Amino acid sequence: RVACARGWFTWYQYQVTCYPQTSGAFAASRLDSGSLHLADLGSTPLAQALARGVDIRVVFIDQYKGDSQGIYVRPTAIENPFDLIGKKLGVPFGSTMHYQVLFLLDIFDMTGQVELLNLSPAEIIQAWDDGSIDAAACWGSAREH
């Protein structure tokens, strides 16, 4: 995203169009259809695409996870993982974050006790603003919101 925002591709001999992707699964489907030629994918969407037989190659491994994604909560309502019980958590299903949430729920023996909502990052922002979710597992613009 930084390279696109700073116009670093404008000097190169290829036409490059940059736009935000809603999820890794969406980007992988666009790679498969040929309407996208390069994407930044999380490990789960990449593995799913490869398992489906999508003809893609890894050209760079981006290691920036750190605090670039996470589970974000309303601090007055949720102070520890167990406070998620009975709450609504928005997460894009099939994303790396989705599997991290499932792992968290499993290790804390909370599977089935948190209502998971399949929301895109844009839908997470809307749901957070209108109060229809208590927590969000997200990255990018949803995290920054």
Which of helix, strand or coil describes residue 119? coil
pTM: 0.62
Instruction: Check residue 64 and give its pLDDT.
Output: 54
Contact call for residues 90 and 145 (beta carbons, < 8 A):
no
Write out pLDDT tens, residues 30-74: 888 888 888 877 777 888 888 888 888 877 666 555 566 788 888
Instruction: Check residue 109 and give its pLDDT.
Output: 94
* CA 7 vs CA 15, 40, 60, 80, 103: distances in Å: 12, 18, 20, 42, 39
Q: How far apart are CA 4 and CA 30, in angstroms?
A: 19
* CA 132 vs CA 112, 117, 129: distances in Å: 19, 10, 8
Q: Is a pLDDT exceeding 70 seen at residue 117?
A: yes
Residue-level length of the chain: 145
Write out pLDDT tens, residues 62-114: 655 556 678 888 877 788 889 999 999 999 998 888 988 999 999 999 999 99
Contacts of residue 111, Cβ cutoff 8 Å, sequence gap at least 6: 102, 105
Instruction: Check residue 63 and give its pLDDT.
Output: 57
